[in-house]
Structure 1
Amino acid sequence: MIKRVLQNTFSLLNVDYVKLTSKWNYRNVISPYYRIYYIDEGSGMISDQKNVLQLEPGYFYIIPSFTLCNLVCTDHLSQYFVQFFEESADGLSLFARSRMVSKIRGNELDIQLFKRLLEINPGRGINRSDDPKVYEKNIFYKEYQELNNSQNMASYLETQGILLQLVGRFVHPQLHLRHPVGQPPVKIVEILGYILVNLHQELSVAMLAFRVNQNPDYFSRQFKIFTGERPVKYILGKRIERAQYLLATSRMPYSEIAIQTGFDSLSYFSKSFKKLTGMSPRAYKKQVYMVGFTM
C-alpha cells in the first residue's frame, strides 16, 4: 500500500465573529498568515492585484499568506473569520502557484464547521490596539502559539481537521497541482529542506548543485520543474517570506532580520523587501499590526 503523507499543517492564530463598519478599510495588506471569512450580513470588497470580489452574505473568502490585497467595508459587514499560519514539510505552500483571493458559496456544513471552530477555541478574537505604543510592547504571536500548545489533544486535532476542511474547499486541482511531472526527485526535496534551514547562509546555485552532485544547469532545470521557479528567485522569495514572519512575530531589529535572512546589507534587504512586497520593512511591520489586530 502506498501511503500519502500530508505535507501541510496549520497553526491557529485568531477566530471570531465580528461586526464591522466603514472604518474597516485597509489598502495594500500583505500578511504571513491565511485569512478565511464567512459573510452573513452586509457588503464590502476584497481585491488582489488581479481580482476584485464583492463581499456578500452566504459566501466564503480566502486570502492566502503573502497575498497583497485590499479590504473594504462600504457601510456595515458582519463576518466569521479565522487567521492561521501554514507549515509545510517540503517548503511549498498549497497556494504557491495561485496566491490570489478566492470566493466560494458556503453550505450548511461549512457554516457549522466555522461555528464549531469558534466554540472549541474561545477567547481567540482580536482585542488589540493599533497604537504602536501598545503593540510594540507585546509579542502577540507567541501568546497565541502558547494557547495552541496548551490546548487539549481532542480540541487540537479537531481544530486541525476543521482548518483542513475549510482550506480544502478552496483547493482546485488545476491550480494547486504540486508535482506536475510525477514524484519529486529526492535530491530536490533534500535541497528544499536545506534552503529553509539555511536562509541565513550563502546559497548559490553552484553550491546547491554540488551538494546533490549535479551539474548547475541540470539542477536549475529540475528545480524549476518541481517548484515552478529558478533557484535564485525561489530563495529570494523564501528569504522575504521569512523576513515578513520575523517582522510580524518579533521585535528583532531590521539589521538583525537582514542577517537572519541572508542579506549582505540592510540597504539590499530593504530594497529587495520593497521590490517583492511593495512596501518598506518599517511600513510592513506597522501595517501587519494595524490590520492583524484591529478587526
Structure 2
Amino acid sequence: MPKSVPNQPLDNLDQWEDDLLRRYPEGSSALRESQKSATEFRNYESDTRPGVREFYRLNHRFQTHAFVTEKRREYLSLQKRTMGIWEAMEFLNTLVDESDPDTDLSQIEHLMQTAESIRADGHPRWFILTGLIHDLGKILCLFGEPQWAVVGDTFPVGCAFSDKVVLHEFFDDNPDRTDPRFSTHLGIYAAGAGLDNVLMSWGHDEYLYHVVKSFLPEEALYMIRYHSFYAAHREGAYDELMNDHDRAMFAWVRKFNPYDLYTKGHQRPDVDRLRPYYEELIAEFFPTELRW
C-alpha cells in the first residue's frame, strides 16, 4: 500500500454504520419519523458524506485479490496477541473517539446494546453472545490497519465487482477490474462454489470469524462472517457464487442484521450490573484465552 494513502478518511468508525442506517432505514427511527419512502432513501449516493465517500474510494481501490491474500497470510496464523473475550472487549474500548458528536458510548456499551436487544427478544444464548462479540474484529485498527481494511461493506474479490456494492463506481480504480483472471462474472470461481471457497474483502468480519470459528454454532459464524456483506443479504447480489447451504444460512444473517443496525442509542447499559451475566455466557462457549 502506498505511504500516501490516509489511514483515517472517517472521523470515527461509527460513521460507516451511521451511513448504513441512511441506506437501509427500515426499522430505524429515521424511517418512522420521515415522510420519505424507502425508494427515496435508497437514493443515497449523491449526498454521501465526503469522509464516507473517501473511505469507499480507498476501500474499493485497494481491496484486491493480492491485498486480501496478503492480509490473510499476515493475520490468520493468529499470532498477534493472546487474550480472553472480555479482555478483547476492553482492548476494543480504546477505540472510543471523543470527537464523535453523535454518541459518547463506549465500544463495550455498543456491544451490550446489541446483545441486550437480542436477549430481550428471547433468542438462544449463542445468539446473544454473537451480538456481544460481533464487532471485536475491529481491534484490527489497534494493530495498525487503516479503517478501509477494517470496516465497510464487504464483497468477494477474484471476480467482477457487482454494481450492487455501495459506490461501486470507485472500483474503476481497482487493478483487478482489468485483470483477465478476476474481471469476468465468476472470475476464479465456479458457479455454486460456496462462500467458504470465495475470498471476501478483508476486514473485521473475516478476521473475527477465524478467531472464533472453533467455538460457536455455524449459524453464529455466518452472522459474524457475513454481517457486512450487504450486497448479498440486502441486495441479492453474488447469488451465483452461493450454494444451497449458504442460502439457508443467510436466513440467520438477515435475522441478525436488524440488531446490528437498529439498536444503537444513547441510553447507557449498566456494564457493572450486566458483566457477571456476560462473563458467565462467555465462559459457556469460550476458553479463558484465545489467539488473535
Normalising by structure 1, we get a TM-score of 0.24
Mark the structure with the bigger radius of gyration. 1
More strand by share: 1
More helix by share: 2
Of structures 1 and 2, the one with the larger relative CO (CA 8 A, separation 6+) is 2
Normalising by structure 2, we get a TM-score of 0.24
